Amino acid sequence: MTTTMRKDWDTYFMDIAYMVSTRSRCPRRHVGALLVQGKKLLGTAYNGAPMGVPDCSEAGCMIAEQYEKVIVDGSEQMVKKQRCIRTIHAEQNLLLFTDRNDREGSTVYVTDQPCWTCANMLANSGVVEIVYHRPYKKDSDKVAAMMEHKGIVFRQLQHYHPPAESVMDEVRE
């Protein structure tokens, strides 16, 4: 990209979401989310422990193991996955720190495709569009179906490249 080329709005806001994600202290996953109305940024959030409570960098991740259905070479398999449950997800923090009035008709930019719980909450939050970058496979069919049912625009930025300094070395599934 040359210096004279302006960033489009999707790139501009997704870059900010990635910069916000660097605030996360969970070593397993850094997620950033923004609330945008028109071209105006109304809120930012990342995944983290509740305020005043030791976070993953201090107390370690709180790992929950669960079996999840995944498709491997076209067939369903149950695979044991580890997830950190210490943090409030970025999307949920965004909902905790923004007003319903601001959310009505707004767009959420989020670095990662929302999980089922976050998608469920976003679907009831007043936002009309969700833009994400990295795919998150778990429940993604269910999430897409619900967004369609709710008439929420749900789109992935496919050709986007985040600022290198904002991406953690390794995202653990």
Among 14, 16, 20, 26, indicate the residue that binds Zn ion (CB under 5 A). Answer: 26
The enclosing H or E element of 154 equals strand 153-156
- Based on the residue annotation, tell me whether 91 is a catalytic residue of this protein: yes
161 marked as binding residue: no
89 marked ligand binding residue:
yes
* Phi and psi torsions of 92, nearest 5°: -70, -40
- Interaction between residue 89 and Zn ion (CB under 5 A): yes
Contacts of 50 (CB under 8 A, 6+ apart): 88
Termini Cα distance of the chain: 31
To Zn ion, the closest distance from the beta carbon of 64 in angstroms equals 11
**Of 45, 95, 118, 127, which lies in the binding site for Zn ion, with binding defined by CB under 5 A?**
118
Q: Measured from the CB atom, is 9 or 23 closer to Zn ion?
A: 23
Mutual angle of helices 140-150 and 116-123, in 10-degree steps: 10
Which residue of 19, 41, 70, 84 would you call a contact of Zn ion, by CB under 5 A? 84
Among 17, 115, 123, 143, binds Zn ion (CB under 5 A): 115
What are the angstrom distances between the C-alpha of 161 and each of 4, 79, 134? 18, 30, 10
Q: How far is the CB of 89 from Zn ion (least distance, A)?
A: 3
Give the x-and-dash track for 33-62 against Zn ion (CB under 5 A). Answer: -----------------------x----x-
Identity at 95, one-letter amino acid code:
L
State how far the Cα of 131 lies from the Cα of 75, in Å rounded to an integer: 29
CA distance 17 to 19: 5
Q: Residues touching Zn ion: how many (CB under 5 A)?
A: 8
Contacting residues toward Zn ion, per CB under 5 A: 26, 56, 61, 84, 86, 89, 115, 118
Residues with catalytic function: 91
